[in-house]
Amino acid sequence: MDSHPAHMLQLTFIGILIHVVIEIALIIRVMTHPHRDPASRIAWVTVILALPILGMLAYVLLGEASIGRRRVARVQEVLAAMPALADVKPGQMTNAQAQVPERYGHLFRVGQSISGFPVMGGNVAQLMEDSNATIDAMIADIDAASDHVHLLFYIWLPDHNGMKMVEALKRAALRGVTCRAMADDLGSRTMIRSPHWRAMQEAGVHVARALPIGNPLLRPLHGRIDLRNHRKILVIDGRITYCGSQNCADPEFLVKAKFAPWVDAVMRFEGPVVRQNQHLFAGDWMSYAQEDIHSVLEPFIDAPHAGFPAQVVGTGPTVRYSAMPEMFESLFHAARHELTISTPYFVPDESMHNALCAAAWRGVKTTIIFPARNDSWIVAGASRSYYGDLLRAGVEIHEYRGGLLHTKSLTLDGEMTLIGSANMDRRSFDLNYENNILFYAPDLTRAVRDRQQRYLAQSQPVTSDMVASWSLGKRLWNNTLAMLGPVL
């Protein structure tokens, strides 16, 4: 009669033992996993212990920034076979020589250590007026293309601007231009699963999905589902490239219309920096489309203008760990007079947060602009947990009221600019593939600063009194989200 309870007790003991063994194994994995900062280790150990089953499941699904062994091997194979950056056209080497003040030379060396691209002179650029003007300029350049169009977006929606891009690519392909269009499989799922994707293929556009999800239930077995290609790249005939924060969509951004308009900044570049963006695109394309396009990287680099020095900085889960925070921190530490930043998502690691505060403490006029209403309530709360420390250090914080400020821009001492796709959060640091361009050009930086001033004119300053007036519950909520930043 007593055998059944004894058997149940034995099964319970075995179940608990198995649970404890798995829990210990995961904790050991957390503590020994390479490239994990102490805060992240503490956060994950806490989650695993506090939520015995959900915590272990969360770590299995989200605990490690891996796109899967096969994909890592494919990316590494592609990058290893990539040709070196080509030589500049004979007679144009003088234009391509980078004239960089000594005080900024180390910044470009940091960038080169990340992507392998040297700083090169001979670049010219223009800051686009707004989102619609950006798409119109892109369409005009595509309509004028004679050889190839290479396009990569994280989000591509089948809205007004998205369809204008579809039709432009179809027109170009039908007249014999080689068009390659890649979109992230999660961010652009609406476009990829629409009839327009097939219509582009039928018109002759080569299409590819970056980081395809496949079966969502099985996807976690092959790497994290939320590791995404967040890059925004357009290269036309190897002569023109665009870089900035904008996705291929209307500023009304109908999928999140209540936060609209999305406010972005994009620059149109010509010069040697175009080839560097071409390299980034080619690496992504060959990793997923299984097409060898080395031939577009072989011609001499064109440097017809005596322009400014610039460099592409591409980061991602298969690039050096902590590359993007290192780039940001180097810029913070280099500031001597003024540092102005706009970013929609701000969840820094400790060293980056300290570097930003240090800039203000040493007397640099440090200004950062966030959106007042963020489409991510998690990021919004975590970002505000840092306001008190930033304000005490002397950082001026402003919240933009004219929509969702999506521009990722940094200007340094009125001379240097970093613009691109990378946010100042853990996702951009650890999980996303990003592309940015760093350049030294006082005149062009002035244009970016003017744009930042326009943002400030539509923003409300955040004061220490405002932060002090927050309720205990709000402070507790914000600090809890920040504490879980390494997990989220």
| 254/369 same-domain check | no
How many Cα atoms occupy the beta-carbon half-sphere of 174 within 13 Å?
11
Q: Which of 302, 408, 425, 430 is catalytic?
A: 408
Do the beta carbons of residue 100 and residue 440 sit within 8 Å?
yes
Q: Per residue in 358-406, pLDDT tens?
A: 999 999 999 999 999 999 888 999 999 999 999 999 999 999 999 999 9
* Burial grade of 354 (CB within 10 A; 0-12, 13-18, 19 or more): middle
Token code pair at residue 30: 């957390």
User: Which CATH number do you get for residue 425?
Assistant: 3.30.870.10
Would you say residue 6 lies in a domain? no
Residue 230 belongs to a domain? yes
Residue 164 annotated among the catalytic residues of the structure: no
How far is the C-alpha of 78 from the C-alpha of 274, rounded, in Å? 20
User: Range with the lowest mean pLDDT among 29-38, 117-126, 449-458?
Assistant: 29-38
From 232, 279, 353, 398, the catalytic residue: 232
Claim to verify: residue 296 and residue 272 sit in the same structural domain: yes
pLDDT at 139: 98
pLDDT of residue 447: 98
- Active-site residue, 106 included: no
As a whole number, mean pLDDT of residues 301-322 equals 91
| Tens of pLDDT, residues 149-188 | 999 999 999 999 999 999 999 999 999 999 999 999 999 9
Mean pLDDT in residue range 441-452 = 98
Q: Assess whether 337 carries a catalytic annotation.
A: no
Final residue in a domain of this structure, among 248, 273, 308:
308
Both 257 and 371 in one domain: the answer is no
The question of whether 406 is a catalytic residue gets the answer yes
Could you say which of 308, 342, 366 is where a domain stops? 308
Catalytic residue among 141, 237, 264, 375: 237
Is 7 part of the annotated catalytic residue set?
A: no
Mean pLDDT of the chain: 90
Is 423 inside any structural domain? yes
* Same domain, residue pair 262 and 396: no
Q: How far apart are CA 369 and CA 459, in angstroms?
A: 8
What is the rounded (10 degree) CA torsion for 222, 225, 226, 232? Answer: 90
pLDDT tens-digit series, residues 195-234: 999 999 999 999 999 988 876 666 565 666 667 899 999 9
Residue at 4 is within a domain: no
Last residue within a domain, chosen from 275, 308, 341: 308
Is residue 442 domain-shared with residue 461, that is, in the same domain?
Answer: yes
Catalytic residue among 150, 230, 353, 398: 230
Which domain, by its residues, includes 472?
323-483
More confident call, 18 vs 161: 161
**Per the residue annotation, which of 264, 349, 375, 413 is the catalytic one?**
413
Q: Given a cut of 90, is residue 317 above it in pLDDT? A: no
Instruction: Kindly state whether residue 113 falls inside one of the protein's structural domains.
Output: no
Tell me the backbone φ, ψ of residue 140, rounded to 5 degrees.
Answer: -60, -40
State the total domains in the chain: 3
Note whether residue 210 is domain-resident. yes
Which residue is associated with the tokens 């002569």? 239
Examine the domain organization and report whether 365 and 263 are in the same domain.
no
Residues 453, 383: one domain?
A: yes
Quick one: 180 and 149 in the same domain? Answer: yes
166 lies in the same domain as 225: yes
Is there a single domain that holds both residue 44 and residue 159?
no
14-28, 91-105, 180-194, 436-450 — which is least confidently predicted? 14-28
pLDDT for the residue 290: 83
Please indicate, yes or no, if residue 178 is contained in any of the structural domains. Answer: yes
Residue 106 domain flag: no
Least confident of 21-30, 98-107, 130-139: 21-30
**CA 337 from centroid of its chain's CA atoms:** 27
Read off the pLDDT of each residue in 423-443 and give the average, rounded to a whole number.
93
Q: Quick one: 247 and 150 in the same domain?
A: yes
Per-residue confidence (pLDDT) for residue 35, from 0 to 100: 64
What would the two tokens of residue 461 be?
């300053």
Residues 172 and 143: beta-carbon distance below 8 Å: yes
73 and 58 in a common domain: no
